[in-house]
Amino acid sequence: MNKGKNSDFEANAPAVVIVGTGLAGYTVARELRKLDSTVPLVLISEDDGCFYSKPTLSNALAMKKQASELAVSDARTMAAQLNARVLAHSVVERIDVERHEVVVGENTLQYRQLVLALGADARRIPVAGDGAADILSVNNLSDYAQFRGRLREAGSVAILGAGLIGCEFANDLALAGYRVSLLDPAAAPLSRLVPGTVGNALAAALGKHGVNLHLGTSVTEMTRTQQGYRLTCSNGESLSADLVLSAIGLAPRTGLAARAGIAIDNGVRTDAWCRTSAPDVFALGDCAAIDGKVQPYVLPIMHAARALARTLSGNETRVDFPVMPVTVKTPALPAVIVTPAGEGEWRVDGVESEASGVAAAALRAVCESPPDRKLLGFALLGQATAGKAELIKAMAAAPV
């Protein structure tokens, strides 16, 4: 029985309830509907429930898209397409795993199965100064709308973090004519994904496209000036920018699950079937550590969603992740990366470096396990990205 003050929460039978309407939540819903056209389905989201492609946020300027043009479908359209109720602007505050209920304000909703697709929060670094509170981050469409609004009065942008998202924003903004500074404490971009040689090649290409890289340092203080901000770095350097964007990474959203007593291990912990430690509660997407691993990318989410939909419809299905490359959307030097699953040795070839007068036009790096030279991962840059299919095939043929 459902009780509550809002008729949106009234239902005849316990539903499959999905919390989150990002890629993870909506993909599970779509996949489930292909298998079961009648099960009551409710999606709950603290945002407006619009469906959009989050990866487009970091290359929307190049695509000449405004924030408002990135929303593909609104919540009503999604509800009609999915034959579901989509409860937008509704925050799930509590889960009662014993009673199989979620609590939204004064309303409760009973679930037969609950899917947590809660996403992640942007991490923040401690920065001193009266400007620090103005640091922006972009992890959803409304963040992006705010960022684009602020960009209208800006000529220069400093980006904190030269990971995948920081590099993509740097390239997009530089192409659109902004003066871009890209800062990272590591010695090269993409330091968590690839070895320094690969990151250096990308740094050279971004530099050629007008991005000012400040590597091996981080911002310690940010003060307001008449124009914008003055940033002081740990190495004593200082620079100015009209706008500061933080792209230092994401932390899986685990608070709701933790408060319900659900096990957390970096993300919401699940087994290889997306099952959490609570009965009938599942998790996937940026909030989840599936079988021990948080994989905050599109392809793992799509694979997990397909398997989970089968499980929800009664056909218990393990998520078997294939080789899943991540594409880095940096037109200055596009990259395709498969992060190694284990410890290995990187071998780099095919570099046409700055020394030869060309910023790496093609770079191929493979990571192999030392004893048997098994391929564990790779990074392909520029023209070398054409070799992606061959390497994926080699990895699939000899899984680790």
Ligand X SMILES: Cc1cc2nc3c(=O)[nH]c(=O)nc-3n(C[C@H](O)[C@H](O)[C@H](O)COP(=O)(O)OP(=O)(O)OC[C@H]3O[C@@H](n4cnc5c(N)ncnc54)[C@H](O)[C@@H]3O)c2cc1C
Residue (290 or 326) nearer to ligand X, CB: 326
Name the closest residue to ligand X (Cβ). 22
Q: Which two tokens stand for residue 396?
A: 């699939």
- Shortest spacing between CB 278 and ligand X, in angstroms: 16
- Shortest spacing between CB 331 and ligand X, in angstroms: 13
Residue matched to tokens 């220069």? 156
- Shortest spacing between CB 10 and ligand X, in angstroms: 19
Strands 267-270 and 264-265, by their bridges, are antiparallel
Residue (19 or 206) nearer to ligand X, CB: 19
Residue (24 or 231) nearer to ligand X, CB: 24
- Shortest spacing between CB 345 and ligand X, in angstroms: 26
The distance in angstroms from the start CA to the end CA of the chain is: 48
Residue (46 or 271) nearer to ligand X, CB: 46
- Shortest spacing between CB 102 and ligand X, in angstroms: 9
Residue (27 or 311) nearer to ligand X, CB: 27
Vertex 313 angle, CA 312 and 315, to 5°: 95
Residue (248 or 351) nearer to ligand X, CB: 248
Cα separation values, 269 from 60, 252, 263, 285, 296, Å: 33, 11, 6, 12, 14
In angstroms, the CA 179 to CA 397 distance is: 45
CB 169 within 8 A of CB 160: no
- The DSSP element (H or E) to which 366 belongs, if any, is strand 362-368
- Shortest spacing between CB 355 and ligand X, in angstroms: 30
In angstroms, the CA 208 to CA 332 distance is: 8
Residue 9's contacts (CB-CB under 8 Å, 6 or more residues apart) are 2, 87, 104, 107, 108, 109
Residue (120 or 127) nearer to ligand X, CB: 120
In angstroms, the CA 72 to CA 260 distance is: 33
CB 387 within 8 A of CB 393: no
Instruction: Give the DSSP letter of residue 86.
Output: E
Residue (186 or 299) nearer to ligand X, CB: 299
- Shortest spacing between CB 347 and ligand X, in angstroms: 25
Main-chain dihedrals φ then ψ at residue 250, nearest 5 degrees: -125, 150
Residue (110 or 327) nearer to ligand X, CB: 327
- Shortest spacing between CB 129 and ligand X, in angstroms: 26
Task: Provide Rg for the chain, Cα atoms.
Answer: 22
Vertex 346 angle, CA 342 and 349, to 5°: 150
Residue 107 CB neighbours (<10 A): 19
- Shortest spacing between CB 230 and ligand X, in angstroms: 26
Residue (305 or 351) nearer to ligand X, CB: 305
Q: Which two tokens stand for residue 283?
A: 């998790």
Give the CA diameter of the chain.
Answer: 72
Q: Which two tokens stand for residue 252?
A: 């899986």
- Shortest spacing between CB 24 and ligand X, in angstroms: 3
The footprint of ligand X (CB under 6 A) covers 19-25, 44-47, 54-55, 57-58, 91-92, 117-119, 138-140, 165, 253, 256, 285-286, 296-299, 301, 326-327, 329
Q: Determine the 3-state secondary structure of 354 from DSSP.
A: helix
Residue 314 CB neighbours (<10 A): 9
